[in-house]
């Protein structure tokens, strides 16, 4: 699937720039195809072949893409290990994989140790020197028979608790993701920037259609709002793709009013909550509609979404409806479908859903039920048949016998004029069992919201028992390696913070 996509785009657009780094290094589709052939031949020559597992402990550079393509060309399975993981987290991921080879680079070897066979490559080389030591010049890997059920990639979930899980996909699923996604709002060709780590499902499973679009992807050393905005301006990009916190950082840049965003046709976000105020501000600044996408690693990055032409009731307060080719429902703990308005777990079904968790059949059996994926996310369906998120099943807490869903409360309180970000975290209470603590990043540290102001603001939309009963301030919300809120970390530091 990957090799075929690359061959087609190389034949039709071989001289076009596929990737360009902030340092100015460029690689064409023709070079990408040639170099990945040569690295594939080196992999074959190293004794690896079909079904071999190769872990990439690499940053999101051109070398990552070449390595992924090379492994796919020999029929191997590529597992991306997020470079932002700690040494311990990287080691835990590798234990799940038990890889045949780890490809890494200076500064990214910690956690690999001597247990696994590894190859350290040099980064940031000139184009003709990229992975030169791992290329058999002029050679190609052995030809593969087409196999839609051949495993291609493993993506790790970004949860902040428990053992890491490797979600694996086959050629058939990557083909389905391409088919479902190519009608989306991103469009084809042109220029784009990399908004997520390459180890993320948004690249690992979507690389075939990203290649097929023949676009030029601009890489940055480290995600930077000012640099991304300048890229959008300079190359007249048609879409702004990010998670909500990244958009918020963009909107805070002092020079944003001087940039030209007339080319932007869509803002597409997922992976983190976007407040109504942020959506309004983003639409005004970029002059484009905003589509919220809901999915998960396990769903292959395919799930629900708000329409670009949606009214505010859908665009500001929901994650929309199932995308074409996707089925979704709300179920109770027993798997029975619930009527509209009742909170339960989102179940998804589509040809993009994962094959399972790598080397973990027990966890796989817990979430895959009769061709349905149990997402672990809570939501309800409103009167317009749109899905409204309420949090994770493991985030819900009970106050005095009532179920509290943090995301529901956060969605309302985030609209307070003095709030930049807010997270609701449970804390033990002798009377109520648990109460909600509002962890707030104030817009103005010299004029933060009081608990009374927060509660008064929320009273019109939330029952009183749902409102937080303690409040504390924090400079920055802790996030995990994929920029999702690290609620586990917040629970750990709450006792150290002072109620206000």
pLDDT tens-digit series, residues 369-415: 999 999 999 999 999 999 998 877 778 888 877 778 888 898 889 88
Residue 435 lies in a domain: yes
Strands 397-399 and 387-392: unpaired
Tell me the CATH number at 486. Answer: 3.30.300.30
Distance in angstroms (rounded) separating the CA atoms of residues 147 and 299 = 21
**Boundary residue ending a domain (358, 375, 394):** 394
On whether the CB atoms of residues 308 and 185 are closer than 8 A, the answer is yes
Model confidence, pTM: 0.84
172 domain-assigned: yes
Q: Residue 482: name the closest of 109, 55, 155, 67 by CA.
A: 155
Whether residue 175 is found in the same domain as residue 123: yes
> Are residues 403 and 360 both part of a single domain?
no
One domain, residues 72 and 26: yes
Shared domain for 409 and 389, answered yes or no, is: no
47's CB contacts (< 8 A; 6+ apart) are none
How confident is the model over 431-445, as a mean pLDDT?
A: 88
Looking at the structure, do residues 374 and 419 belong to the same domain, yes or no? no
State the residue range of the domain holding 355.
324-394
Q: Are residue 329 and residue 474 in the same domain, yes or no?
A: no
Residues 16, 139 within the same domain: yes
pLDDT at 185: 38
More confident: 35 or 88: 35
Average pLDDT, the chain: 90
Q: What percentage of the chain carries pLDDT values higher than 90?
A: 68
Does 345 lie in the same domain as 196?
no
> How many structural domains compose the chain?
3
Q: What CATH number corresponds to the domain at position 389?
A: 2.30.38.10
Residue 373 maps to a domain: yes
Assigned domain for 286 exists? no
> Which one of 146, 179, 212 terminates a domain?
212
Residue ending a domain, among 359, 394, 429, is 394
Question: Is 188 contained in some domain?
Answer: yes
Whether residues 29 and 96 fall in one domain: yes
User: Could you tell me if residue 289 is inside a domain?
Assistant: no
Instruction: From 366, 40, 310, 60, select the one nearest 185 (Cα to Cα).
Output: 310
Return the closest-CA partner of residue 27 out of 67, 58, 73, 62.
62
3-state secondary structure of 95: helix
CB atoms within 10 A of CB 149: 9
Does residue 225 lie within any of the structural domains? no
Give tens-digit pLDDT for 310-331: 999 999 999 999 999 999 999 9
Give the containing element (helix H, strand E) for 439.
strand 433-442
pLDDT, residue 161, reads: 47
**Is the dihedral angle over the CA atoms 49, 53, 56, 60 positive or is it negative?**
positive
In a domain, 221, yes or no: no
pLDDT digits (tens, 9 = 90+) for 219-254: 998 888 999 999 999 999 999 998 887 898 899 898
Q: What is the pLDDT of residues 58-117, one digit of tens each?
A: 999 999 999 999 999 999 999 999 888 888 888 989 999 999 999 999 888 888 878 899
> CA 346 to CA 304: how far, in whole Å?
10
List CB contacts of 68: < 8 A, sequence separation 6 or more: 2, 56, 78, 80, 153, 198, 204, 207
pLDDT of residue 158: 59
């Amino acid at each position: 699937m990957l090799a075929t996509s690359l061959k087609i785009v190389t034949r039709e657009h071989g001289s076009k720039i596929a990737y360009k780094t902030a340092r100015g290094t460029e690689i064409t589709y023709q070079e990408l195809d040639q170099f990945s052939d040569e690295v594939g031949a080196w992999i074959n020559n190293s004794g690896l072949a079909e079904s071999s597992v190769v872990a990439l402990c690499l940053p999101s550079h051109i070398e990552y893409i070449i390595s992924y393509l090379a492994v796919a060309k020999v029929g191997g399975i590529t597992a991306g290990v997020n470079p932002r993981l700690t040494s311990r987290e990287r080691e835990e991921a590798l234990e799940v994989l038990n890889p045949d080879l780890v490809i890494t680079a200076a500064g990214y070897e910690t956690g690999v140790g001597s247990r696994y066979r590894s190859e350290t490559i040099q980064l940031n080389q000139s184009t003709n020197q990229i992975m030169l030591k791992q290329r058999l010049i002029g050679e190609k890997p052995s030809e593969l028979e087409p196999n839609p059920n051949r495993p291609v990639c493993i993506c790790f979930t970004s949860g902040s608790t428990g053992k890491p899980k490797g979600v694996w996909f086959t050629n058939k699923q990557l083909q389905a993701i391409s088919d479902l996604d190519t009608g989306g709002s991103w469009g084809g060709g042109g220029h784009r920037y990399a908004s997520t780590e390459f180890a993320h499902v948004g690249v690992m499973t979507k690389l075939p259609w990203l290649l097929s679009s023949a676009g030029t992807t601009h890489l940055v050393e480290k995600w930077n709002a000012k640099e991304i905005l300048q890229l959008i301006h300079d190359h007249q990009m048609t879409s702004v793709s990010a998670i909500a916190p990244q958009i918020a950082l963009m909107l805070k840049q002092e020079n944003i009013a001087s940039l030209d965003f007339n080319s932007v046709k869509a803002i597409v976000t997922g992976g983190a909550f976007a407040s109504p105020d942020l959506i309004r501000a983003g639409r005004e600044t970029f002059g484009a509609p905003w589509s919220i996408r809901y999915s998960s690693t396990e769903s292959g990055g395919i799930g629900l979404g708000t329409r670009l032409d949606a009214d505010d009731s859908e665009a500001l307060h929901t994650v929309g409806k199932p995308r074409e080719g996707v089925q979704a429902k709300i179920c109770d703990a027993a798997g029975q479908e619930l009527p509209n308005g009742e909170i339960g777990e989102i179940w998804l079904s589509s040809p993009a859903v994962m094959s399972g968790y790598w080397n973990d059949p027990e966890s796989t059996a817990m979430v895959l039920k009769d061709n349905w994926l149990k997402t672990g996310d809570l939501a309800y369906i409103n009167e317009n048949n749109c899905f409204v998120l309420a949090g994770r099943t493991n985030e819900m807490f009970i106050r005095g016998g009532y179920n509290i869903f943090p995301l529901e409360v956060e969605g309302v309180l985030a609209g307070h004029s003095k709030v930049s970000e807010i997270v609701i975290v449970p804390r033990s209470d002798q009377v109520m069992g648990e109460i909600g603590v509002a962890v707030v990043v104030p817009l103005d540290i010299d004029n933060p919201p009081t608990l009374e102001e927060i509660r008064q603001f929320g009273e019109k939309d939330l029952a009183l028992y749902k409102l937080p009963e303690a409040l504390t301030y924090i400079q920055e919300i802790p996030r995990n390696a994929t920029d999702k809120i690290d609620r586990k970390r917040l629970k750990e530091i709450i006792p150290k913070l002072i109620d206000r």
